[in-house]
Structure 1
Amino acid sequence: MPSNDVVLLADMLERDRQLYDALGEDHDTYFTARQYLRNYAPTHDDLTAGLVDGRHDGGLDAVYMFANSLCVRDDMPLSALGRGAQLDLFLMQVKNSKGFGEDAINQLLVNLPKLLDFGRDEQALSKTFNGRVLEITRRFLSAYRALEMPSLRVFICFASLKAEHLHPGTVEKAAELNTVVRSCFGGAAVSVDFLDAAAVADMAREKPVTTRHLALAENPISTSKAGGYVAVVKLEDYEAFITDDEGKLDASLFEANVRDYEGDTAVNRSIQDTLAHPDSDVDFWWLNNGVTIVANKVQPAGKLLELDAPQIVNGLQTSNEVHKRRKTSGERQLGDDRSVLVKVIQAEDDSVRDRIIRATNSQTSFGPSALRATDKVQRQIEEYLAGKGLFYERRRRHYYNQGKPVESLVSIDQMGQAVLSVMAQVPHIARGQVSRVFEGDIYDLLFAPSHPIQMYASCVNIVRETQVFLNSARHTRAQAEDFLYHLSMLTAMALLRKHRPSAIDLAKIEELKPERSLQAELLQGIQNEYARVGRFTGEVMLDRMAKDPAITEAVLNFGRTYLGTTRKS
């Protein structure tokens, strides 16, 4: 008879499965990854992007990479993070079984040296590993090489959802795995974790921390408006506030993207220098613009502020440098009693919060993703999609944290990918460089105030219908992401019978669903173009092809020919 922990976890999984029905066989891995990575506050997009289970997975069910505590999901360079960035690689295997078999570890003992080799032959590896495994591990290797002396941690997790105990032989094998990974990266800190039913269930029961306490150096100055405070906070106390239990920068505090931290810039070097060389005559906050925190509620209690759901909306660069100071210069200097200036504002209303973010960041540099979320067009998209039963997450995890159905969530990344492929006709960027959606020229093209609001719903609808089509057949499911954006582009062209549909054109087909027979015909053409270009270039990796602008041009030429040789049905 199974233990109570196994029974209770099975009940949890079944209830959760009903909320995430679209995940199918990947649900248990998704659920476990959500618990295991909980301190990184990953989004739904982050979690699904790391799922690699399937044929030729090399013994891996999920692979995730985090830089400075934020998930990296595309191929945009990370070199701007500068010297000493924290790089974390997670390798997970999740089985709905009663024990931890040694075979699972043996697979990784054999496969990890192949996957984590800078000189690997991808053409040879493609015969034994699927595209998702190769793509994510390639991204990790590229990031590690691009960063200057990164601090690397590798976490290997084996989860057995019906297990009640750990076999002694498994522990010995884990030591071998640690040695193998360290042979690939000598300076890495390697951790091998085994999660049984009780461990996963305990993680799932943990309530996310929404209330935090900020210790102040002196009593705060309050404003005439309720909920506004200005205070100075000792650097040591501020560092504790922004650091999680594992010593990482707490990603859940920042409405930010990993690339919003500007890295080794002149401004950040100046902050580093000021932190590293205390001056008894000058306090840190005299030389720094400080930090702005917005919270749903603020409760003062002497030299302490209790904050409900705080978000650091200005001061990302300062926060990163304060967090890095111990790692880069050793233990803090004794007697360093300097402080940082902190403004804390109570703002439950979204529109008020948006005004605060935009106003504070018009004066100092901040990453683009959080600032873009306050744009009028973003609020309009959110409002319009809400009327369609969709929740637009212009802010990271905003509706996800509220427990809204995952099928109803549309992230700002998903919207960017949809418009990049359907209207802008650059599916290779949608596939490989979604972070570019926040770049000035691209953002202005995608989210121009003149675009009809219905266009955004149309683009999302086309991509989602295309995703359903690709996932419905076993032979296309594994490569769905590599065809998704190109097929979405052609679908819009075919539905409107236009070589380059405009935003106004797309707004007119908001409720139109493409015929499956049409998409099957278009997909065959895309596959033919991939094969033709592959024969010419020798490329065998579908994900590389999907990110190649030459493939986009070839697919567009096929689409134009298709429109010229077929009639509207």
Structure 2
Amino acid sequence: MAKNDAVLLDGIIQDRMALDMLDRGEAFEMFSFQQILKSYDLTRDEIESGWVDGKDDGGIDGFYIFVNGVLLRNLNNQVWPKKNAEIDIWIISCKHKDSFKQVALNTLFPTIEELLDFSKAPSEFEGHYSERLLKARQTAVQAYLSTASALPSLNFYFAYASRGDLTELSSNIEARGKQIKRIVNDYFSAATVSIEYFGATELIALHRKARVILELPFIKELSQEQNAYVLLVPIDVYADFVSDEHGQLRRYLFDSNVRDFLGDNRVNQDIANSLDNSQSPDFWWLNNGVTILATNAMPLGRTKAGNAIQLHDVQIVNGLQTTQSIFNYFKSAEANANGRCVLVKVIISEDDIVRDSIIQATNNQSLVELAGLNATDKIQRDIEEILERNDLYYERRKNHYKNIGKPIEKFVTPLLLAVSVVALVKKSPSKAGLLKTRFMRNPTSYEEIFSEKFPIELWPKLAGVIKAVENGMIATVPKLKATGNRVLGNWRGAVALCVMAKLHGTFNFNQKHILETEIDSISQDFVESVFVSLRKLRSFKEDEIRVTNTDKLCQIFCRQEDLAGIEVIGCWNMPSGTKNRWLERNTQLANEAPIDPETLILIGNSLPKQPWPPGVHVDISRKLDLDKKFIQKAINQLIKAGVLEHQYDGVVVNSNGYVTAIDKKRADPRYKIGDKYG
């Protein structure tokens, strides 16, 4: 995992080097400072003020002093607290190395022994230290002495950042770190001392934690617990809250949402209609509202806009459809709040496990989206980042890149990547052709396909190969694009596998071969030649049986092209043995619980116009990956609500018992439209 994170980290550092005109080591240091001190919300100038790296730095790259959370820079006008003073001293060492080295702490050790002995004047130091480092040390001494009467709470934080893997941290490094802690405790017996190590994985995780601090005005607080608020927020105020200074939607607020705006579907049309209708009941009566996660909340009391609360690290984890609809409404010149409000639930937690459980729970209201809950997994975020660096856009969150106008031909879906893994890594084209998103609900199969053991650079190669193959197939048979993904889906894995086997001379190519593949070498003509060959082989007869299994086709292709590695084709099986809890829950819901409105609408929109053909619920079940009983129950619920009409053997009957439509192929010929049924 750390190796993949190091690749992502290197890409970020490369960007910073070009943007900030820094060398690699400087860019790494600046990035590390920004991530480690993110909770203090420092400006670039403030971070640079504590940057002490250079000649005679004593092994210290960053030295920062905070009093009650405020960075100390200019002591001339400093007002010192008279009580409840808290001093945080951060000492940071950054090494752009592949692993953590003891030498970094060895260099730091004598520096700490001298600099943190506040009884010594700089003239008494045996070591040579830069002016910047001595100035930072003097600021720490001044803060300590100036708050002495307030009996300050003193906290020392030592941070060591590298590109290394924390799981490989050696015992001698940890032992040296403990020695540093003991030295500090000898000088400051009441101080708390901690030493933290930040490798590539930890720095990337911090980088992804957006530091967003926003004020949310509200008109009424319906409930307030220790870590939660339920607020009524005017819809125009909420529209401003989610808009940036340029009037654009703050899309980064939805990074933890498993889907993006779903467009003009029935639910969103209903939301828009309720906003347009000024005579409708208050908006929050008709809408489930919005859920916001934050790491901290500070009530601000009365402001110009009324009561307000300041929220840190804002993420809107449920209510994106409501939010986008409100935002769209207020882009219209005729928009009017008319005193209407939206219900906003704010939950405060810094615990990642708690936050993830809230994300899953709040996004579990529409069953068809449950597979999308994997969208917030670390591996999915890693894939999105590495693909974007290769000019591809990973749709881990449905509709995200579509809504921000990225070119659709560069989209890559999780299913497409899974197909490429099964076809090219597992060498099982038939299973790749049958793959559905439901596999993501099984943790065992999901973790094997989206494996964190794969080198992160593998994903853009897999995506590039499968997209080049798809484009070549569509150019060969243009109607494939028009007929949907069924034929394309059945064949693309086999074509991709044979293309790669021809490129590398064997079907038993490995991940290293994939990484070395030049995507430009997979030309349209090359794909066409392989595709045409496989289609011809489909009519090839062995034992007078027509070959339809794509594993078998690849084996025949292997022999005809005199390629090696036939033994690996089709040997892999999708892992099983983990209970499909989603399916169990789905079946339980089909038999017990009422179906939520959004899922009902989705199923209703998926049904063809009545009269339906026989077995329509089976077709919809396959299309939406839902249990057949669940679909049948939804249809009955829609009929009961008057959205759909009853249907008996091809005869459609309204609630008054009159025939409104007929399937002439199977309906009783004695019925005509307008007749009384029965």
Indicate whether the TM-score tops 0.5. no
Between the two structures, name the one with larger relative contact order (CA 8 Å, sep ≥ 6). Answer: 1
So what's the TM-score if we normalise by structure 1?
Answer: 0.40
